[in-house]
Amino acid sequence: MKQTFFILLLCVSCTWGFSQQRPKRVPAAPHPMEYIQPNGDTIDIRLRGDENHHFHTTLDGYKIVKDKKGYFRYAKERNGILIPSCRKAHNQENRTKAEWRYLNMNGIK
């Protein structure tokens, strides 16, 4: 009887002790990563956020989202959700004038 009570007490105290620990936040990897787009182009990206909310950006801060075909595209926000735009993302030095104009006109950043 004493042994059963001791085991029960041990289980309750362990459960209580583990429930008191706060979850630890894990920040995103701080280093840029190179990603190869399906067409062979490369793009340097960063992962931002933590384990609860995270997203990708270009090195100069534009939010990007991967589409169904595996391409990173500039992200548009709709109802608090990031969705891919019609424009494929590129590194800053590889963007065309039309791409820069699109980014500036649509306030993508």
89: Cβ contacts below 8 Å, ≥ 6 apart: 43, 58, 62, 64, 71, 72, 73, 74
User: Where is pLDDT greater, at 5 or 53?
Assistant: 53
> Is the pTM higher than 0.75?
no
* End-to-end CA, the chain: 67
How far apart CA 72 and CA 90 sit, in angstroms, is: 9
Note the pLDDT of residue 3.
Answer: 60
Domain boundary assignment for the chain: 26-106
User: Where is pLDDT greater, at 61 or 10?
Assistant: 61
Note the pLDDT of residue 87.
Answer: 95
- What does the pLDDT average to over 58-78? 95
